[in-house]
Each structure stands twice: as structure tokens, then as C-alpha cells.
Chain A
Amino acid sequence: MQSLCVQLISSFLHYNALRVNGEVCVLRRKNTSGVKHVKMHQHNKSNITLKKQALNRVWLYGSLQTKKDIRSGQTAGKAARWVLQHILRQFSAVAHKTQQQVEAEQPDAERTPFLGSHLDRLIHQEMKVCSDAACRYPSNYNAWSHRIWVLQHMAKGNIKVFRDELSSVHPWVSMHVSDHSGFHYRQFLLKELLNTELSQSLSSDSANGELSLGDAACGDRITTVFKLFYQETELCSDLIQSFPGHETLWSHRRHVYYLWHHWRQDQDICSVGKENELKPTGINEPGGSQGKSVDRHKHVSVPMEVDRVSLPDHDSKRLRRGILLPSLLTLQNEHTFVNSILNSCCNAEQNNYAVAYKKWLDTVISAQSLDI
């Protein structure tokens, strides 16, 4: 049986060679310009272990590169994604077969947990590699976008993975406050968590019809989301105050506030839509993104209760269930935060970014909060 086997053979002047099942595929290692290409041939369709070895070799190769060798990192990333896609196809083929066995009540249909742990280990390994790459080269676009790719393809809807990642990069971003890619990764994680929470609350609402059992679970999810935003905003505020004059931190704040703002709008739409069959008007969604996601880019003309004291019926219902709406995360509080920075800080750049954030709130957010 032929097998996918990647072996690092030798390192000689300007070249590393990978032997793939007897065929030598040349990677030209260059100090400044990086790698030509990686060729891999898949011969054994079922051997996951060997594919994982291949991944290890790819990353070992990538890690040998010097700090400035961005292209090698790019090529290693490309090769890794190619291998990972093959592994994923195998997983889904095996999982499908397992499902068929389960349905046919066959006794040896126990491979799904085994596959699940394989997947977890793979994800964990890829996260580690990306983390190492991120340390070697600041604001490493390729490493972080590979990290996102892995989660998009291997951890869809997996709340635990997203939460774990949010925790694990927390110390890292606190020590790399200029690393825009690192903070963008947190924005991605938040958005995925929100979309997962949102889709779960939508499906439980539609499954339950009237507000009944789904309510408590829905309430828990809302509290969870509030906590997420509260913690992220607190992190952002702490870092802005501790490290004045970092554009990355203010950019992160815009992202977080935008996500919060539109999540709230979507919550209002979902509840209002359910009770009154009111469809949001004036939506012009580029890119075909669905109305219920937090991916809005255009103005939305829907009733917004962000800053009002008296709450509409659906929010009152939530209050009756004992969930506190946070007093933070209102437009007013954001302006208060900005003013406190402007009043206390003498760092010119910090002042500029604070003013720019204020302008952004006025121009972008307020324009999207039309009352009708």
C-alpha cells in the first residue's frame, strides 16, 4: 500500500527537499524571498496518522525559517491547509459511515469520539503553531488568518473551542498591544460566539413557538453574551489606559462596540419579528449575508432602544426573568469613556485616537441607530 510519507531528507545549499513517496519535491529555501512551492501527492486515502506526520513536517519546515521569511510561512500555511482539508474529508467520510452503522445498530460504531479527539488534537496543534509564528513575526497576517481558517473549517459551532481560544489569547494580546492581527482574532472569536448563540436562540424560539421552556435558556444565552461584551470592553479599557497611544486598541474598541451594537439590533429584530411579524426595512446587504447575522454594513432602519430609559415589552420580559441589562455599553457611556481619556491624558497620539473614536461613534454608529 502506498502511503503519504513526508520526510525531511537533507538540507544543502539553498535547498530543503521533501521526499514524497519516492518523488523528490523541491522547496527552495531562501533567506529573504522564501519558498518556491510544496508538492504533495496523496496516495493513501485512509491513513490519518501519516497525514498528521506530513503536517508536522510542514510546520517543522516553516518554523526553520528566519523571522523575516514571510513567504515560507505563507507556503507552510498553504501546504498545511491542503493537508488539513484532506484529513477533514476523511473525518467526514468516516463520521458518515459511523452514522450509517449507528442507524443500522452495528456494535462497532464507536469511532466518532475517537475522531472527535483526533480533531481536537489537530486543532490544538494548529493553534500552537500559529501562536509560535505570531511570536516570531509581529502582526503576522498569515499566521492569524490561518488560525481563523482552522477554526472556520474544523470547529464550526464549537462554542467550547471559541471560548477556550478567547481565554488563551487574552494574556498574549495584553503583552502585544500593537498586534492588530491578534486583536482581530478576538473579534473573530466574539463574532463566532455571537452567531452561534444567536442561531441557537433562533432555533429554540422557533421550535418552542410561544415563550415557554425556551425562555430560561434564552435568558442564559443573553446573560452570557452580555458578559462576553462586558469583559471584552473592560479588557479594552484597561489596555487603553495602561498603554496610551496604541491605534490597535482603539480599533479593537470600534470592532467590539460595533458587534455589540448590531447584536442588540438583531435581538430587537428577532423579538419584534416574532411578536409582530415586523420585517426590517431598508436593508441592503452586500455579499448576500443573511439578515440575522451580525455582519451588517449598511444602514438599517429598525426601531432601536439603545439609550432610552423605558424599555419595550420584550426587554421588560427579560427583566422579569431577573436578567440585568448592563448600564455599560451604551453610546452615552462610550462618550463618557472618551471624554475621561481626553481629560486625563497628555499623550498626543492617545488624544488623536480618542477624538477619532468619538467621531466614529457619531458618524457610523449614530447613523445606524435611527428611531422610527
Chain B
Amino acid sequence: MGTAQLKDVIIKPDAPSSLLLDKHADYIAAYGSKKDDYEYTLSEYLRMSGIYWGLTVMDLMGQLHRMNRQEIVDFIKACQHECGGISASIGHDPHLLYTLSAVQILCLYDSLDAIDVDKVVEYVKGLQQEDGSFAGDKWGEIDTRFSFCAVATLALLGKMDTINVDRAVEFVLSCMNFDGGFGCRPGSESHAGQIYCCTGFLSLTGQLHQLNADLLGWWLCERQLPSGGLNGRPEKLPDVCYSWWVLASLKIIGRIHWIDKAKLQRFILACQDEETGGFADRPGDMVDPFHTLFGVAGLSLLGDEAIKPVNPVLCMPEDVLQRVGLQPDLLS
């Protein structure tokens, strides 16, 4: 007979318990300044998303002015391909993921005119399949993440009517599982990241009423572990990024009060690194910009007033979306 050791972390008593915003701003501002850094080089394949994470968290902390706007806008221009799609970095192939990140960055900077928007729309539209799903790029991988990327991109550009929205909705709903959650494709296991993408998708397409909010909310709040952190699926360790995917989903479906907010906040704060700044996936691990954004964004959703309000659907500052004129639906 084996007794399980619950998969969770123990938060040490000396773990950080207050928000170190200045340290995080310094960490992000300095990130990428050493371009021959090993980790920085290895992550070139996702550079566009990396920039989106860094800029968004800086904006949420009111520190966007410390980043090099012109260099970034020029970089994005150089990453738009003839087909209209945008790549992660110069010389890489275009993909929906990086097309969305690029559009999000240009919205932050109010510089959508830097790229050919019509071509972006054409690229996104061209990736929709007959069954309503979206491929990530020309190689045809289907995933509900790409459905989210497609509608988020088009929503920010005000061009959602160019795709077959009904079909797109049909496909996403076909990925709904008995537990109220969503997987990457029909029949796939429910996963908090995919759930975030699908609830975000349904919000942007005005179809949140198709969800079983109670059932899904229940699955989501079962992600909370004794440490207060959230995982993405049963028997996985907690991770600060799931504190975003799960929390944002709960916010969208109007059930954020189902989570123990104080315990989650304690977990997120414990993921900070007091020396280097930034957040790690869990206490004591190495920090990175990805987890830094989702830690700060999670705290914003929990109501921390030192951070700007963040939109749970698009993970962008609310004031940016107000300027763009986009207010995605939320359930109450």
C-alpha cells in the first residue's frame, strides 16, 4: 500500500511576502541588454512573445517608458513577412502566436500603422480550416490556442468579421469536455492553459453563455493546492503562470471569488526573487520574464492597487484596451 505525498510546494517562512515592484522593473529593463547571454540566445525562437511579456509587465507597473520603443517597432516591421504573418524574430518563419504578440505590442505603443494590417488579417483568415479551427502556421498544426490567437488578433484590429466566426465557435465548443474544461483538440484532456484560451475566445466572440460556468468554475478552483498556488491539471505542481491561466478564466466566467485569494497571493509573492527581481514558476526557482508577467498580472486580478488593472481576456492593461475600444464580455 502506498501513501501519496501530495504534489505541492512548502512556502518557507522567510519567503518574500511583500511586492517588490521596483526590483521587477529593474530586472525587465535590464533583460536582453546582454544579447550574448546564453538563455537569451536560446529563446530567440519566441522573441516576439518575450518582448510582449516584458513590455506588458512594465506597462502594468507604470514603467513602459524605460523600454526602447523605436527599436522594438522597427524590429516588428522587420518581422512581418510577405504573406502578412509575423515571426518571432528576424529570419524566423511567421506564426499566429507571434503575430498576436506583435499586434499586442503595437497596441501598447499605439503604433499599428507600423505594419500592413490588411495583410495580417489576410494571413489570419487564411489559417482558418474547414471545420472552423485554426492552424498555427502553414504546416497545419491545429490547437485551440490558435483559435484564441486568431480572434484576439482580429479583435484588436477590429476585423473579426473577416473570418467565419460561427464555424470557429463550433470548433472550440467541440473541444469542450464533460468536466466543463477544454483541451487542445476535440477529445483532448482539459488543461488550464487551453481553458484560458477557449474562455477568452468565447468572450471575444460573445459566446460565454455556451459555457457551463459552475462546472468549469469548480474544475478551476480545484486547481488550488494547500500552498495556495494553482496547478494546470490534477496532480501537477503549482506554477505562477497557472495563477494567471486559472485566475483569468475564473474572472471571465465570474467566479473569481471561488478561489482563496489570500493564499494565492501569498504563493505568488513567495515566487519573487528578492536579489535579482522577477518571478519564478515556484518559490526558489530561476526567474524569467514569462513568469514575471503572469505573477504581476495575477496580483492585479487579485486587486493589488500598486499595479494597473489588467484585462483578463487579453492580458493587457485595461487602459490600453479602452483606447483601442475593445471591451470583451465577462460573466457576472
Contacts and interface: CB of A to CB of B under 8 A. Distances in A.
Contact of A247 (B2, B176, B179, B234): B234
A181 B189 CA distance: 7
Given A139-B236, A180-B234, A181-B189, A33 B43 contact: yes
A257 B1 CA distance: 25
SS class of chain B's interface: helix, strand, loop or mixed? loop
Given A287-B173, A288-B174, A180 B188 contact: no
Interface residues of A, number: 51
Interface in A204-253: 242-248, 251
B179 A254 contact: yes
A286 B173 contact: yes
B187 A255 contact: no
B119 interface: no
A288 B169 CA distance: 10
A interface: dominant SS: helix
Contacts of B327: none
B210 interface: yes
B184 interface: yes
Contacts of A188: 187
A33 B185 CA distance: 23
Given A37-B93, A141-B189, A180 B235 contact: yes
Interface stretch (B3-11, B107-115, B310-318): B3-11
B42 A243 contact: no
A61 to B, nearest CB: 16
B2 A286 contact: no
Nearest to A245: B4
Contact of B174 (A144, A191, A289): A289
B3 A245 contact: yes
Interface residues of B, number: 42
B54 interface: no
Given A28-B45, A33-B42, A36-B45, A297 B139 contact: no
Contact of B235 (A139, A149, A350, A364): A139
A233 to B, nearest CB: 16
A258 B39 CA distance: 46
Interface string B190-234: 010000000000000000001110010000001000000000011
A178 interface: yes
A145 interface: yes
Interface stretch (A77-85, A115-123, A164-172): A77-85
B2 A149 contact: no
Nearest to B202: A286
Interface string A68-90: 00000000001001100100000
A30 B42 contact: yes
B257 interface: no
Nearest to B178: A258
A298 interface: yes
A297 B212 contact: yes
Q: Which 3 A-B pairs have the closest CB atoms?
A: A287-B173, A245-B4, A184-B189
